[in-house]
Amino acid sequence: MRFLFRLARPATRRTKRPFRVERVRPHLRQLIESWTRTPAFIVGHAQDLLATNALADALYRDFAQRDNVLRMLFLDPAAKTFYRNAERAKHRAVADLQQSAASTPEDARILELVGELSVRSPEFRSLWAREYTRVPPYDVKQIHHSGVGDLELRHEALNIRSSPGQQLVILQAEPGSPSADGLALLGSIGAPEVPHQQNPAHGA
C-alpha cells in the first residue's frame, strides 16, 4: 500500500516525466462513430476519455467537462443525480485506477490525477486509501438522464490489444426494453454536432 500513499503526495522533489501520449487508432474511432444506437467510448490507462461517439456525448451531456471518468464521478455535481448507484461506480473506478497505478507507479498522468483528486475530494482520498484486491466486475449501469429519464444499460469494457492500457466501453440496452426506447429517443432529439476530442495535454 505504500506506493498508493506516495502517489497521493505532491511530487515536490520528483522529476516530472512527460505524459504518455495516447492516440486512438483511426479505425477504432470510425468503428464507434458508426454505432448510432449504442453509446460507446474509448478510455486511456488513467481513464481519460480519448474518443466518444455521438450517442455517448448525448448520454453524458449533463456533465460540465467530459474528460476523465474519475473527475466526472468525484468532482462534477451532475454525478449525484446521473448515477443511481454512484457509490458502486466510484469504488469500481478507484479500483481500476489502483490496478493501473500498480503496473505503472511512476506514470506522470496517474500521479497528476491522483494528486488532484486527493486534494479536491475527501471521498476519493478515503477510497484511495483502501486496498482493492480486484476490480469489481462490470454490470448493469443504472442512470438517470435529465432528458429521457431512467436507463438501465449493460456496461462492457474490452481491452484493446493493439493499444495496451486502452479500453473500449460499450453501453447496451436490452432490445425492446424501455431503456432501448430511451436511447432511441436520445438519439432522435439530437446529439452534439462536434464529437468529443482528446485533451491536447494527453494526446491527439
Domains annotated for the chain, with CATH where assigned, are 2-10+35-202 (3.30.450.180)
3-state SS class at 192? coil
In percent, the amount of the chain with pLDDT more than 70 equals 82
Reading the block at residue 14, the C-alpha cell is 520528483
pLDDT at 137: 72
How far apart CA 5 and CA 109 sit, in angstroms, is 16
pLDDT tens, residue by residue, 10-30: 444 445 555 667 999 999 999
Reading the block at residue 202, the C-alpha cell is 494527453
Question: Could you tell me which residues come within 8 angstroms of residue 174 by beta carbon, excluding any fewer than 6 positions away?
Answer: 152, 154, 180
Q: Which tops the pLDDT comparison, 168 or 202? A: 168
pLDDT tens, residue by residue, 102-115: 988 889 999 999 99
pLDDT at 93: 93
Q: Which helix (H) or strand (E) is 180 found in, with range?
A: helix 178-188
